[in-house]
């Protein structure tokens, strides 16, 4: 075996190692994405369980009008949206119902301040 063959083998090994390293980096990015999504879903699931427990303890009969239809109290919709926002969910038309993971949302706050 001459020197040229040895250097060609080393170059081939280096090239395969580079490809393997790039694949490993891509897998690492996918794992990070999956872990972040899992954490976000765990937080959302925890908050939804908390809401379910709260609603199970507070069961109110709606106020009914004379034609037996529920009466919407003034400001009740606003109060519900405020409650949802304080529980960590978006109430703006851009992300409505999604979990707020990065603090306050300017769209939601501008909607609440109208």
Per-residue pLDDT tens over the stretch 34-88: 998 898 888 888 888 888 887 777 655 555 555 666 555 457 788 888 888 888 8
Q: Is 21 annotated as a binding residue?
A: no
The closest of 83, 80, 81, 63 to 72, measured between CA atoms, is 63
Report whether pLDDT(29) > 90.
yes
Q: Is 108 annotated as a binding residue?
A: yes
Q: Is 49 annotated as a binding residue?
A: no
pLDDT in tens, 73-108: 457 788 888 888 888 888 888 888 888 888 888 888
Burial of 58 (0-12, 13-18, 19+ CB in 10 A): exposed
Q: Find out whether 79 and 73 touch, Cβ atoms under 8 Å.
A: no
What local confidence, expressed as pLDDT, does residue 88 receive?
86
The SS3 call for residue 14 is helix
Q: Find out whether 100 and 90 touch, Cβ atoms under 8 Å.
A: yes
């Amino acid at each position: 075996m001459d020197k040229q063959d040895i250097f060609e083998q080393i170059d081939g090994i280096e090239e395969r190692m580079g490809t393997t390293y790039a694949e490993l980096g891509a897998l690492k990015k996918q794992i990070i994405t999956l872990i972040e999504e899992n954490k976000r879903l765990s937080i959302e699931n925890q908050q939804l369980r908390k809401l379910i427990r709260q609603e199970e303890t507070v069961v109110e009969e709606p106020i009914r009008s004379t034609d037996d239809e529920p009466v919407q109290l003034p400001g009740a919709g606003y109060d519900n949206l405020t409650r949802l926002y304080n529980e960590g969910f978006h109430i703006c038309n851009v992300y409505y119902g999604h979990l707020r993971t990065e603090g306050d949302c300017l769209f939601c706050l501008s909607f609440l301040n109208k």
